[in-house]
Amino acid sequence: MANSDYTIGVVGVGRMGGNIARHLKDEGFPVQAVYDIRPEVAKELAEEIGAEASDTLVGVTAAAAYIITVVTDDDAMRTIFAQEGDSLLQDAGGKVFINCATITPQVHVDVEALATQVGADSLEGCMASSITQAREGTLYLMCGGKREVFDRAKPILDAMSVDLRYVGEAGQAAQVKALVNMVMNINTAGLAEGLGLGAALGLDLTMLQEVFSQTGANSRVLETDGEDMENRDHECYFSAAHASKDSGIALHLAQDAGLNLPLAEATKKQYDRMIELGKGELDKSGVAELTFPGRG
């Protein structure tokens, strides 16, 4: 099938969802309808890419065969897949939902069951990348659900990603994503402490980052966040609020498994502190504002 045969709707067209819609349009996929709880955001994007700004979730389901959702949290996910009222599940027989938000794994399991009840299919498309990668179609994408649904949606998933991995049944991709973000958040908070202490000691931070990059202190976040921490450039690609939420998901998984994760707990407290200080919408690199001398 050609890309033009895969009609697409997107629910949640903020920074990630909007850029996914733009990229798929560029790749020749008909993006038929977009929806957001902020109608003005959906309308602006719809005008840009030649789609309909739907006033309802039902309208998105009616307009497209494949519906990509990128919502904020568990409650938002349950709302768009409600069993009554305006819901993506209305008249959804034969549709495929590709759910990209970082949410509790059990919610993905529940949504798959709800979709099955109405003759639809659901797939996790957990993203381990940020806004730029969404726009360029270079996401690292981890998928969970039925293998045949993954195969059916693969042309869309391939267009969205540079690295595509099928993880397993519903909920498992979200588990992996929660662990990815938990470790990323720990690394980010650790880097902020290392550079903050370096600044307090009067060390050259450019030199220090170069040394980190060649030693056991190296990490991906050193590359993405180190200079931003030094320069206090916290333009948001992945917010502190999201970091807190995702670390919380991992901690709930740990609690269910009977494990104690003190580093993850300490990291979440740092991001919770940012939220308390009104800095939750800064990029996760903004955790350096809590550790560098003379800041905060």
Class of domain 175-290: mainly alpha
Burial-class residue 15 by CB neighbours within 10 Å (0-12, 13-18, 19+).
Answer: middle
Question: What pLDDT, on the 0 to 100 scale, is given for residue 204?
Answer: 98
Question: What pLDDT, on the 0 to 100 scale, is given for residue 248?
Answer: 97
User: What residues form DSSP beta bridges with 143?
Assistant: 125, 166
Query: 34 Cβ partners below 8 Å, 6+ apart?
Result: 9, 10, 11, 13, 18, 21, 42, 45, 46, 49, 51, 52, 53, 54, 60
CATH architecture of 3-170: 3-Layer(aba) Sandwich (3.40)
Question: What pLDDT, on the 0 to 100 scale, is given for residue 2?
Answer: 84
Domain assignments of the chain as residue spans, ordered by start? 3-170, 175-290
Question: What pLDDT, on the 0 to 100 scale, is given for residue 110?
Answer: 97
Question: What pLDDT, on the 0 to 100 scale, is given for residue 130?
Answer: 81
State the Cα–Cα distance between residues 262 and 244, nearest whole angstrom.
15
State the Cα–Cα distance between residues 199 and 196, nearest whole angstrom.
5
Instruction: Determine contact, residues 74/51, Cβ cutoff 8 Å.
Output: no
- What is the chain's pLDDT, residue by residue, as a tens digit (296 residues)? 788 899 999 999 999 999 999 999 999 999 999 999 999 999 999 999 999 999 999 999 999 999 999 999 999 999 999 999 999 999 999 999 999 988 999 999 999 999 999 999 999 999 987 889 999 999 999 999 999 999 999 999 999 999 999 999 999 999 999 999 999 999 999 999 999 999 999 999 999 999 999 999 999 999 999 999 999 999 998 999 999 999 999 999 999 999 999 999 999 999 999 999 999 999 999 999 999 999 97
State the Cα–Cα distance between residues 125 and 141, nearest whole angstrom.
6
Instruction: Determine contact, residues 47/61, Cβ cutoff 8 Å.
Output: no
Question: What pLDDT, on the 0 to 100 scale, is given for residue 1?
Answer: 77
Question: What pLDDT, on the 0 to 100 scale, is given for residue 186?
Answer: 98
Query: 210 Cβ partners below 8 Å, 6+ apart?
Result: none
Question: What pLDDT, on the 0 to 100 scale, is given for residue 159?
Answer: 97
